A = this chain, B = another copy of it.
Amino acid sequence: MPQRKLDVVLDSVRRLQRMGATANLVNLLQKQHPADLAQLFAELTQKDRVSAFSLLLERNPRLAMEALSELEPDAGAALLADRPADEIVKLTQELPSDDAAAIIDYLPEELSASVLELMQKRPAGGDVGELLEYDEQTAGRIMNPRVFALSEEMTAGEAISALQGSRDVEVVFYLYVVDARRHLVGVVSLRRLLLVSTATPLKRIMTTDLISVRVETDQEEVARQVASYNLLAIPVVDEENKLVGVITVDDIIDVIKDEATEDVYRLAGVSGDDRVFTSPGDSLRKRLPWLMVNLCTAFVAALVVSRFEGTIAVFTALAVFMPVVAGMGGNAATQTLTVIVRGIALGELTWSNTRQALLKEAVVGAGNGLACGVIGGLIAWLAYGNPVLGLILGMAMVINMFVAAVAGTLIPLTLRALKIDPALASAVFITTLTDVFGFLSFLGLATLFLRHLHVAE
Interface of A toward B, CB cutoff 8 Å = 2-3, 10, 33, 35-36, 38-39, 42-43, 70, 72, 160, 163-164, 171-173, 190-191, 193-195, 221, 226-232, 249-250, 252-254, 256-257, 260-261, 263-265, 267-270, 274-277, 279-280, 283-284, 287-288, 290-292, 294-295, 298-299, 301-302, 305-306, 309, 312-313, 316-324, 326-328, 331-332, 334-335, 337-340, 342-343, 346-350, 352-353, 356-357, 360, 363-364, 367-368, 371-372, 375-376, 379, 383, 431, 435, 439
Selected from B260, B337, B360, the residue in CB contact (under 8 A) with A283 is B360
How far is A292 from B38 in the complex, measured between Cα atoms in Å?
A: 44
Chain B: minimal CB distance from A393 (Å):
10
Chain B: minimal CB distance from A355 (Å):
11
How far is A194 from B340 in the complex, measured between Cα atoms in Å?
A: 49
Q: Are B435 and A327 in contact (CB under 8 A)?
A: yes
How far is A419 from B324 in the complex, measured between Cα atoms in Å?
A: 31
Chain B: minimal CB distance from A31 (Å):
10
Q: Using A260-B260, A261-B342, A295-B375 as known contacts, list a sample of 16 further A-B pairs with CB atoms less than 8 Å apart, ordered by residue number in A.
A: A35-B230, A42-B353, A163-B195, A172-B173, A173-B190, A194-B194, A252-B253, A256-B257, A275-B339, A280-B363, A283-B364, A299-B324, A301-B327, A306-B383, A313-B313, A316-B319
Q: Nearest 3 A-B pairs (CB), nearest first?
A: A260-B260, A276-B343, A268-B338
Q: Are B173 and A294 in contact (CB under 8 A)?
A: no
Selected from B228, B284, B294, B379, the residue in CB contact (under 8 A) with A39 is B228
Chain B: minimal CB distance from A328 (Å):
6
The closest CB in chain B to the CB of A311 belongs to B316
